[in-house]
Amino acid sequence: MDIKEAVEKRHSVRQYLDRPIDDKIKKVLEEQIEKCNQKSHLNIQLIVNEPRAFQSRLAHYGQFQGVKNYIALIGKKNIPDLQEKCGYYGEQLVLLAQQLGLNTCWVALTYKKVPEVLHLDSDEKIVAVIAIGYGKNQGATRRSKDMKDVIETTGSVPQWFDEGVRFALLAPTAMNQQKFKFIFEQGKVKIKRGMGLYTKIDIGIVKYHFEIGAGKQHFQWDSEEDER
């Protein structure tokens, strides 16, 4: 499937089969992780065959079952846009996993850190993890806001802008809160972040989805983002 099909078909999955990730697929993931790390200066890591992170009470509360593989999103604590970067590059890996026949789920809280399997410097921290593997199901479609609810621009907008917003609404966000607004002005796109848990991660994810739908060649991001 191409990247747009991956966006359409991908849903969060919390229950996984006891099946190791194929070595060839693992290699593709690791190669892409290395590329993401080089571009972003993050320290993203793929952890396989390690079930302890999802054996906590919180994981049980989150209804996770059979999770033995995950992607740890790690970066320097002093990076101002650390959470957004983790969202942006993490979602690239999520959609690649979907294309490779795997399932995923973003996890910001309901996991346990297992220090001995992670490689962190003293000035780094884990922002979130992504459960990954072969799901027992393909997940379910969730409710979504209407496009008009996340656009503040009045008047006509280009078709690519509408497509970008449509794909942004397919992005996973914490607790399905979708706390963002898009503004189109003089060929530039501005995204406003609402208040709430993990909204900075959400903005990174949403930005990547918007770029897929709109096409990066059609616009520039407004550098002066509204942080509230």
Q: What pLDDT sits at residue 225?
A: 47
Whose CA is closest to 37, among 105, 107, 119?
A: 119
Q: What is the mean pLDDT of the chain?
A: 93
- pLDDT over threshold 50, residue 102: yes
pLDDT above 70: residue 191: yes
Residues in the chain: 228
Query: Of the candidates 62, 55, 60, 63, which has an alpha carbon nearest to the alpha carbon of residue 113?
Result: 55
Q: Place domain 147-220 in its CATH homologous superfamily.
A: putative nitroreductase (tm1586), domain 2 (3.40.109.30)
**Could you identify the residue written with the tokens 């918007």?**
210
- Asked whether residue 184 carries a pLDDT value surpassing 50, the answer given is yes
Model confidence at 226: pLDDT above 70: no
| Average pLDDT value for residue range 176-194 | 93
With 90 as the cut, is the pLDDT of residue 61 above it? no
Per-residue pLDDT for 154 more than 50? yes
Q: How far apart are CA 105 and CA 11, in angstroms?
A: 8
| Distance from C-alpha of 92 to C-alpha of 120, rounded to nearest angstrom | 22
Of the candidates 220, 215, 207, which has an alpha carbon nearest to the alpha carbon of residue 159?
Answer: 215
Residue 186 pLDDT: 84
Q: How confident is the model at residue 58, as a pLDDT?
A: 63
As a whole number of Å, the end-to-end CA separation of the chain is 36
Mean pLDDT of 166-180: 95
Looking at the domain that runs over 3-133, which CATH code has it been given? 3.40.109.10
pLDDT 10s digits, 37-48: 999 999 999 999
What are the residue ranges spanned by the domains of the chain? 3-133, 147-220
Q: Which of 214, 153, 144 is nearest to 179 (CA)?
A: 144
Categorize the per-residue pLDDT at 111 as very low, low, confident or very high, splitting at 50, 70 and 90.
Answer: confident
Average of pLDDT values for 46-70? 85
pLDDT per residue over 8-30, tens digit each?
999 999 999 999 999 999 999 99
Kindly give the residue spans of alpha helices, DSSP state H, lying in 10-81: 23-40, 57-61
Question: CATH topology of 3-133 equal to that of 147-220?
Answer: yes
pLDDT above 90: residue 173: yes
User: What is the CB neighbour count within 10 angstroms for residue 149?
Assistant: 10
- pLDDT on residue 228: 30
| pLDDT the model gives residue 158 | 95
Q: Average pLDDT, stretch 79-84?
A: 94
Going through the chain in order, the beta strands assigned E by DSSP cover 45-47, 70-76, 103-107, 124-133, 180-185, 188-193, 220-221
pTM of the predicted protein model: 0.94
Write out pLDDT tens, residues 196-219. 889 999 999 999 999 999 999 999
